[in-house]
Structure 1
Amino acid sequence: MMKKILLSLVVLLLTTLCYAQDLPQVTLRDLNGKPVPTSSFLKSGKPIIVSFFGTWCKPCLRELDAIQEVYADWQDETGVTLYAICINEGADVQKIRPTVHAHNWDFVVLSDANADLKRAMNVSAVPALFVLDASGKILHQRTGYVEGSEDELLAVLRKAKAVPPTK
């Protein structure tokens, strides 16, 4: 009896872990307020980065600025697309567009004002960054930013590029 309970718990845990490894399906908003489903992130068949930030978060802005410096090279090498997900809420949503323009970011910036994706991905603090393969499996995640960690991210992206997408 105890073995069956333990086996059931292990199966439940593994199922939960496997489920948590996929990109959740929610709808975000672009800078013009247009809905963008997260399912559209996977259409390219290339790896993606999902980076949660707040316009008030200095480490978040430093991380995104550092990635911006190497983003074009990363795209050329791995085909990656970065989705910067702003968690600003209420009136602070109006600060997203000016922040993006002030920093001259070339990647996709979306709003998660209702915190749907943030909750679904269990993000409790920003910056929070996820690298996913082309099928939406999470290969790497971290919270916080350490200057110079872009080399580590590039190594993960190279591995993600090598993983064939599952259909």
Structure 2
Amino acid sequence: MKKSWIAIMILLGLVAYGGYDYVSKSSAKTEEAGNTGETSLEKGTEKGQLAPDFVLHDLQGREVRLSDFQGKTVLINFWATWCPPCRIEMPHMQKFYEDYHSKDIVIIGVNLTPSEKTIDSVQAFVDEQRLTFPIVLDMEGSVTQTYRIAAYPTTYLLDSKGVIREKFRGAIHYEIMKDAVAKIR
């Protein structure tokens, strides 16, 4: 009987230590995230998740990082020149950008470059549409894959902390962008 009590006491001690260790590590992670300004949200491509960061190059070869826009509301628009709904949507994107970029709202147009005939066709489209928001080239398709793009266009709306608040599959217009941004600000 005495050996059973000792075994039970040792077992309770191990369980208590395991609980203490778990709680102290969780607290340390929370404090660490708070000290670095990081969020403890899971990264992913669904609403409520922290959008995965990416680095792509624009048409002039300059590096563009999603994390460079931290603190701003961001629309990430995945598109291609050959896509009819994308072509219809672009004037709305441009108008929205013109009206809202001074209010810390950014649009990043991620071109599905592997699907294009040439990079020159992307530049010609941008010139034709007079697009002034950042256009980046997903040369390898890696960002398109990370964001699980299955339909063109697809637009993600991120809040100022980089959290996905909306995900639109298919073309959207000015009023949809305006209403979606108003809901998160």
Shift of 1:82: 0.5
How many equivalent residue pairs? 140
8 Å CA contact 2:156–2:166 kept in 1: the answer is yes
Q: Is 1:33–2:61 an aligned residue pair?
A: yes
Q: Deviations over 1:89-131 (max 9, x none)?
A: 2752232111101110121111111112111111112100011
Aligned to 2:110: 85
Cα separation, 2, equivalents of 1:156 and 1:121: 20
Matching of residues 99-138 of structure 1 within 5 Å: 99-138=125-164
**Cα distance in 2 for residues equivalent to 1:87 and 1:71:** 20
Matches within 5 A, 1:1-167: 18-20=42-44, 21-42=49-70, 45-76=71-102, 78-89=103-114, 91-145=117-171, 149-160=173-184, 162=185
- Give the gaps of 5 or more residues in structure 2: 1-40
Residue type of the alignment partner of 1:154: K
Q: Which has the larger radius of gyration?
A: 2
Note the C-alpha offset of 1:50: 0.3
Partner SS state of residue 84, structure 1: strand
Q: Is the 8 A contact 1:55 1:88 kept in 2?
A: no
The one-letter amino acid paired with 1:96 is V
Q: TM-score, normalised by structure 1?
A: 0.75
Quote the Cα distance in structure 1 between the aligned partners of 2:132 and 2:64: 17
Root-mean-square deviation (CA), in Å?
1.9
Q: Judge conservation of contact 1:26–1:116 (CA < 8 Å) in 2.
A: no
- TM superposition outliers: structure 1 runs of 4+ over 3 Å: none
Q: Which deviations, in whole Å up to 9, do the C-alpha atoms of 1:23-67 show, x marking residues without a partner?
A: 21222111112322222232xx12010001001112102111122
Shifted more, 31-40 versus 45-54: the winner is 31-40
Q: Is the 8 A contact 2:54 2:143 kept in 1?
A: yes
CA gap of 1:41–1:115, structure 2 versus 1, over 3 A, is farther
Alignment partners' CA distance in 2, 1:37 and 1:75: 17
